[in-house]
Amino acid sequence: MNQNLKDLQMFQNFLQADPNVSADFKAAVVEVPSDYETKEIDWKSVEVDGVDPKDAPDFCDAYFAYGCYTDGTEISEDDLIQMCTDYQDTLAEMAYESLY
C-alpha cells in the first residue's frame, strides 16, 4: 500500500475516533478507496455459485461466492457483489465452465 493511501486511512481513523466530529463531516472529508479499487484480483481463487444449467447462456442466478486478491486478502461480500456487475461476462464464462 502506498504512503498516501496509508495517510488517508490514518486520517479517516482519526476522524472516526473523534466524537466531536459530525458524521456528515466524516463521510464528506475522506473517502478511502476500497480494496476492490486498489488491489488486483487473484482470478484463480475466485469461486462461482448459484449456477443453474437452465439459465444458460447468461446464468442470471450465478454469482461470485468467494475470492482473494493477489496479496491473499479475502474479497469482501460487498466487493464480490460489485464484481458481479463489473465482470458479468467473466461470471457467465466461469459459470459455464463450472458445468463441465
pTM of the entire structure? Answer: 0.66
pLDDT of residue 58: 83
- Residue 9: exposed, middle, or buried by beta-carbon count in 10 A (0-12, 13-18, 19+)? middle
Please provide the distance, in angstroms rounded to a whole number, between the alpha carbons at the two ends of the chain.
Answer: 38
Query: What does the DSSP assignment read for 26-87?
Result: HHHH--PPPHHHHS-EEEEEEEEE---GGGTTT-TT-EEEEEEETTSPBPPHHHHHHHHHHT
Mean pLDDT of 11-36: 71
10-14, 45-49, 83-87: which range is least confident on average? Answer: 10-14
The residue among 86 and 10 whose pLDDT is bigger is: 86
Residue 94: all three cell numbers together: 466461469
pLDDT of residue 19: 75
**Cα–Cα distance measured from residue 97 to residue 100, given in angstroms and rounded to the nearest whole number:** 6
Interhelix angle 88-98/77-86, rounded to 10 degrees, is 100
